[in-house]
Amino acid sequence: MNNVLKQQSAERISKRVFIALLAVIAVVFVAFYLIGFNRPYADDPNFNEPLLTDVVLVFMFLILLLAIAAAIWGMVRAVRMRDDLPSDNASTPYRYGWMVAGGTVVLMALTFLLGSTAPIWVNGAVYANAFWLKTANMFVWSSVIMIIAAAAAAALYTFRNRKID
């Protein structure tokens, strides 16, 4: 198994993992919407209580843990690779890793500080805890900004590396 992985390029392995991950995500979310989605909530039949909510939450938590593990592994690998690279190129991956980590921390701090504390109504109840409102706002806006940045970087990479005939 290890020899098979070493023979394949990192790009090919990455594509296969990405396709597998997309397939699992599609199955989980299609199942969420097709299996018991319109089940009424026991305490108030005006609200839905989807049957597979716990499955989606656990799946998202596992994906988060995998992303954190991959980020830590990547940072450790970058530090180890730094010593193996020629001296003129040694700090580039290391520097990029720290720039991404630092940028993420700064982005999350800014979106937390700029987050709204206006109370919101959720399922008939008012939520007014300023800390949790700012925290939720931070995660939503940080995610939106990072998704836009990732799409822009992918588009830039695609168009920049295009061969002109």
Q: Look at residues 132, 138, 103 and name the one whose alpha carbon lies nearest to residue 119.
A: 132
Beta carbons within 8 Å of 37's beta carbon, 6+ residues apart: 48, 50, 51
Write out pLDDT tens, residues 7-44: 677 778 888 888 999 999 999 999 999 998 888 888 87
Mutual orientation of helices 53-84 and 10-34 as an angle, nearest 10°? 170
Q: Quick count: other Cβ atoms within 10 Å of Cβ 10?
A: 8
Q: Quote the tokens at residue 49.
A: 């209580």
Give the separation between CA 45 and CA 47, rounded to whole angstroms: 5
Residue 58: the pLDDT is 95
Residue 88: the pLDDT is 58
Residue 99: the pLDDT is 87
Helix (H) or strand (E) holding 122: strand 120-122
Write out pLDDT tens, residues 44-69: 788 788 889 999 999 999 999 998 89
Kindly report the backbone phi and psi dihedral angles of residue 122, in degrees, each rounded to the nearest multiple of 5, phi listed first: -130, 120
Residue 163: the pLDDT is 59
Write out pLDDT tens, residues 79-109: 777 666 555 555 666 677 788 889 999 999 9
Say what the pTM is: 0.57
